[in-house]
């Protein structure tokens, strides 16, 4: 019984990590049809922002939850202005340009920060679950994933900004005829996605350690989740994270972490063979 | 000039260049530079393989390195087990080809969109990278070959004359083999494009819907092009394994990225362009690597960004355009337009 509970918690953590890692990418892809291959590096920047801010004496929570998303969000605004804006509607070129950005960020950060691992230690100590002990920070991550999903849902569904953004993505011309500036909506949406990526990087920094190349560790998982999920931002991310996170955690539990990831990839590939438009291409099509 | 005539001319020029390289370079270069040149030839072959898949088939493969690495690993494993490098080439090509065919079958018969295709192929090579990295230790061996995890397989056997394992090729001979492989694949690509299969593949790239409505099997042609590209990448991996040794970095994001950069900078739809861009950018990157404190990734990323923003069609087509504009008297056939995919 205790074992089942512990494994269940591990699965939930795995799913939560996937949700956190993919949400920023899903917002940018789902809303703007922009595939941001520099997503992993945005996470890396967020993690570095958190490390620098804690080094400057801020509390870890302020650094993670406030400094990282704001810093990376601003950076995303600049990137949108300089690069992404020139490439709207050219999906493949956007992908290539953001890949270039990703390589350049890894290279630049390696020059600035060196190739050594810095990090922050996980707060919150450990918590007893039956006969096992689990890290309190993992429980916090589960809560954070739920809060982030709720936040995105509320922002898109119930705020004026969410309404305007969704309308603009559906039909930019009509939106602009109604007095909305599509340019500005695109910029803000991209920045919001970047902020989510930065937040994700900071949240995962205590688990993974912070190096300039850390983005590569997440990008494959994030992409496979978003693509398996399909077009609907929240429903897609949540369903794909739920499925793939479970597969990968159980695979890890039964064998090794690498085989867990391989199992996750195989499931994703088989799923895409059956549902080329992702899970929400077939079910929950009208979900957010 | 007919298409066949032009292709013949290109192949003849390439043959002359290959002969010149084989005759001159081994004598003119020092050993280190010669081995470097062999690596560049292997990379140019990798660039050619993607140039073919992307340019002729319109297949956005971000993970061409998957077949490159699989070819290299299969060569090393088979070579160690057989004790004969020459016998290992065929298994290596088989593994790379089958892997490409299997992945292609999933993607093309699943009708995965081109952007998804890029992401899936990239993911596959990244997963292979992680997997190869985690194969340290005694339990990870295939026959006599230990996979070696992060360190790769340093004792990758060199090629030898067929049937004569005691007599491995010298670095000069490996260079000749590399140049011959590169030339052979270039000629093969040019010839394949002249066949009915090649023409249909290009037609599909130009307009998938139209080709399909005309009754051509889009999926089978795409699969064919992708598989040929995978086999060539596997051959590149074999050559690479002969001048360095196989290690997980063959699957890495940095390599996968570079291949795409070479093809994009050289010009999608051309074949000389990517090979030339490969050699030029490798030279640039190895020069940048000698500048203390400078990270070559920054340069590569900058080049890719600049290429997408400033010369999205690549250097060779842009240069051809400029040349054509300078000489308006000579009538030029319209460049095939590289339509940005939806």
**What pLDDT is attached to residue A194?**
93
Which residues of chain A register pLDDT less than 50?
none
Q: Which residue has the tokens 């004969």?
A: B84
**What pLDDT is attached to residue B342?**
44
**What pLDDT is attached to residue B85?**
75
Interface test with B, best of A99, A108, A115 (most B CBs within 10 A): A99
Residue percentage of chain B with pLDDT more than 90: 21
Residues of chain A found within 8 Å of residue B264, distances taken between Cβ atoms: 96
With H, G, I as helix, E, B as strand and everything else as coil, classify residue A81. helix
Query: What is the tens place of the pLDDT at every residue in A234-279?
Result: 888 888 888 888 888 888 877 777 778 788 888 887 887 777 777 7
Query: What is the tens place of the pLDDT at every residue in A196-247?
Result: 999 999 888 888 778 888 887 788 788 888 888 877 888 888 888 888 888 8
- CB contact at 8 A, B105 and B223: yes
Flag if B299 and A256 touch (Cβ within 8 Å).
Answer: no
10-residue stretch averages of pLDDT, chain B, 342 residues long: 81 85 80 86 92 88 90 88 82 93 87 77 84 77 74 77 75 87 92 91 88 90 93 92 84 84 85 88 80 77 83 79 70 54 47
- d(CA A218, CA A215) in angstroms, rounded, equals 6
Query: What is the tens place of the pLDDT at every residue in B304-323?
Result: 888 888 877 777 788 888 88
Give the number of beta-carbon pairs within 8 Å between A and B: 128
The length of chain B in residues reads 342
In 10 A of CB A284, how many CB atoms? Answer: 17
Residues of chain B found within 8 Å of residue A281, distances taken between Cβ atoms: none
The 3-class secondary structure across chain B, one letter per residue, is: CCHHHHHHHHHHHHHHHHHHHHHHHHHHCCHHHHHHHHHHHHHHHHHHHHHHHHHHHCCCCCCHHHHHHHHHHHHHHHHHHHCCHHHHHHHHHHHHHHHHHHHHHHHHHCCCCHHHHHHHHHHHHHHHHHHHHCCCCCCCEECCEECCHHHCECCCCCCECCCCCCCECCHHHHHHHHHHHHHHHHHHHHHHHHCHHHHHHHHHHHCHHHHHHCCCCHHHHHHHHHHHHHHHHHHHHHHHHHHCCECHHHHCHHHHHHHHHHHHHHCCCCCHHHHHHHHHHHHHHHHHHHCCCCCHHHHHHHHHHHHHHHCCCCHHHHHHHHHHHHCCCCCCCCCCCCCCCC
Flag if A92 and B296 touch (Cβ within 8 Å).
Answer: no
Residues of chain A found within 8 Å of residue B109, distances taken between Cβ atoms: 273
The reply to whether B254 touches chain A by the CB within 8 Å rule is yes
- CB contact at 8 A, A270 and A247: no
A130: closest CA of chain B, how far (Å): 33
CA-nearest of A129, A128, A101, A61 to A215 is A101
- CB contact at 8 A, B273 and B316: yes
B59: closest CA of chain A, how far (Å): 11
Instruction: Pull the structure tokens for residue A96.
Output: 């290539």
Flag if B116 and A92 touch (Cβ within 8 Å).
Answer: no
Residues of chain A found within 8 Å of residue B139, distances taken between Cβ atoms: none
Burial letters B99-138, b for 16+ CB under 10 A, else e: bbbebbebbbebebbbbbbbbbbbbbbbbbbbbbbbbeee
**What pLDDT is attached to residue B328?**
58
**What pLDDT is attached to residue B332?**
52
C-alpha distances (whole Å) from B240 to each of A101, B23, B62, B189, B234 are 28, 21, 19, 20, 10
- The domain segmentation of chain A, as residue ranges, is 2-282
The reply to whether B124 touches chain A by the CB within 8 Å rule is yes
> 3-state DSSP helix/strand/coil percent for chain A, to nearest 5?
80, 5, 20
- CB contact at 8 A, B75 and B236: no
Q: In A, residues 42-101, which contact B (CB 8 Å cutoff)?
A: 83, 86-87, 89-93, 95-97, 99-101
Q: In B, residues 285-324, which contact A (CB 8 Å cutoff)?
A: 293-309, 312
Q: In B, residues 195-234, which contact A (CB 8 Å cutoff)?
A: none
- The domain segmentation of chain B, as residue ranges, is 3-255
DSSP letters for A129-156: ETTEEEEHHHHHHHHHHHHHHHHHHHHH
Q: Which residue has the tokens 């898949």?
A: B53
B163: closest CA of chain A, how far (Å): 38
The CATH code for residues A2-282 is: 1.10.3470
The reply to whether B261 touches chain A by the CB within 8 Å rule is yes
The reply to whether B131 touches chain A by the CB within 8 Å rule is yes
The reply to whether B122 touches chain A by the CB within 8 Å rule is yes
**What pLDDT is attached to residue B184?**
92
Half-sphere exposure of B100 (CA within 13 A, CB side): 35
Phi, psi of B110 (to 5 degrees): -85, -5
- CB contact at 8 A, A185 and A2: no
Strands (E), chain A: 126-129, 132-135
In Å, how far from its chain's centre is CA A90? 23
Residue of B131, B300, B308 lying closest to A93 (CB–CB): B308
């Amino acid at each position: 019984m205790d074992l089942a509970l512990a494994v269940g918690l591990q699965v939930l953590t795995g799913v939560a990590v996937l949700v956190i890692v993919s949400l920023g990418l899903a917002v940018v892809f789902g809303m703007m049809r922009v595939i941001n291959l520099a997503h992993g590096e945005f996470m890396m920047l967020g993690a570095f922002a958190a490390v620098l801010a804690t080094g400057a004496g801020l509390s870890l929570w302020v650094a993670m939850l406030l400094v990282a998303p704001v810093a990376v969000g601003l950076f995303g605004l600049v990137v949108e202005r300089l690069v992404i804006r020139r490439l709207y509607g050219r999906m493949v070129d956007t992908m290539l340009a953001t890949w270039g950005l990703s390589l350049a960020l890894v290279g630049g950060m390696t020059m600035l920060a060196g190739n050594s691992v810095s990090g922050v230690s996980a707060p919150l100590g450990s918590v007893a679950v039956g006969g096992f002990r689990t890290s309190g920070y993992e429980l916090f991550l589960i809560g954070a994933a739920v809060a982030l999903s709720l936040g995105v849902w509320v922002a898109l569904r119930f705020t004026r900004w969410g309404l305007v953004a969704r309308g603009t993505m559906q039909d930019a011309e009509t939106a602009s005829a109604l007095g909305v500036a599509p340019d500005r909506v695109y910029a803000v949406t991209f920045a919001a996605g970047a902020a989510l990526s930065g937040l994700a990087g900071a949240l995962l920094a205590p688990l993974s350690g912070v190096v300039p190349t850390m983005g590569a560790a997440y990008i494959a998982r994030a992409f496979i989740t978003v693509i398996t999920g399909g077009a609907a931002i929240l429903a897609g991310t949540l369903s794909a994270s739920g499925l793939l996170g479970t597969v990968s955690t159980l695979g890890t539990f039964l064998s090794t972490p690498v085989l867990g990831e391989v199992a996750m990839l195989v499931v994703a590939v088989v799923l895409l063979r059956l549902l080329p438009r992702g899970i929400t291409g077939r079910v929950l099509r009208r979900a957010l | 000039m007919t298409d066949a005539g032009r292709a013949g001319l290109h192949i003849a020029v390439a043959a002359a260049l290959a002969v010149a390289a084989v005759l001159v370079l081994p004598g003119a270069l020092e050993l280190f530079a010669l081995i470097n040149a062999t690596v560049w030839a292997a990379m140019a072959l990798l660039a050619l393989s993607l140039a073919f898949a992307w340019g002729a088939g319109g297949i956005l493969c971000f993970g061409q390195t998957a077949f490159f690495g699989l070819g290299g690993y299969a060569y090393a494993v088979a070579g160690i087990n057989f004790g004969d490098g020459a016998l290992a080439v065929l298994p290596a090509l088989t593994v790379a080809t089958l892997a490409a065919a299997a992945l292609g079958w999933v993607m093309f018969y699943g009708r995965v969109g081109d952007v998804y295709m890029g992401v899936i192929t990239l993911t596959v090579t990244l997963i292979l990278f992680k997997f190869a990295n985690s194969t340290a230790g005694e339990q990870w061996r295939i026959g006599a070959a230990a996979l070696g995890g992060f360190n790769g397989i340093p004792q990758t056997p060199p090629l030898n004359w067929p049937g004569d394992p005691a007599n491995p090729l010298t670095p000069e001979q490996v260079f000749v083999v590399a140049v011959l492989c590169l030339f052979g694949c270039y000629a093969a690509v040019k010839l394949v494009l002249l066949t009915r299969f090649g023409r249909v593949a290009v037609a599909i790239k130009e307009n998938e819907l139209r080709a399909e409505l005309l009754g051509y099997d889009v999926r089978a042609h795409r699969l064919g092009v992708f598989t040929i590209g995978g086999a060539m990448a596997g051959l590149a991996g074999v050559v690479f394994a002969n001048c360095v040794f196989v290690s997980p970095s063959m699957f890495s994001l940095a390599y996968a990225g570079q291949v795409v950069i070479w093809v994009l900078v050289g010009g999608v739809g051309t074949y000389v362009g990517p090979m030339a861009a490969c050699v030029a950018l490798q030279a640039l990157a190895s020069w940048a690597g000698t500048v203390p404190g400078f990270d070559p990734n920054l340069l590569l990323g900058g080049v890719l960004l600049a290429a997408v923003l400033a010369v999205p069609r690549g250097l060779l087509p842009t240069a051809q355009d400029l040349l054509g504009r300078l000489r308006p008297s000579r009538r030029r056939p319209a460049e095939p337009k590289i339509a940005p995919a939806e």
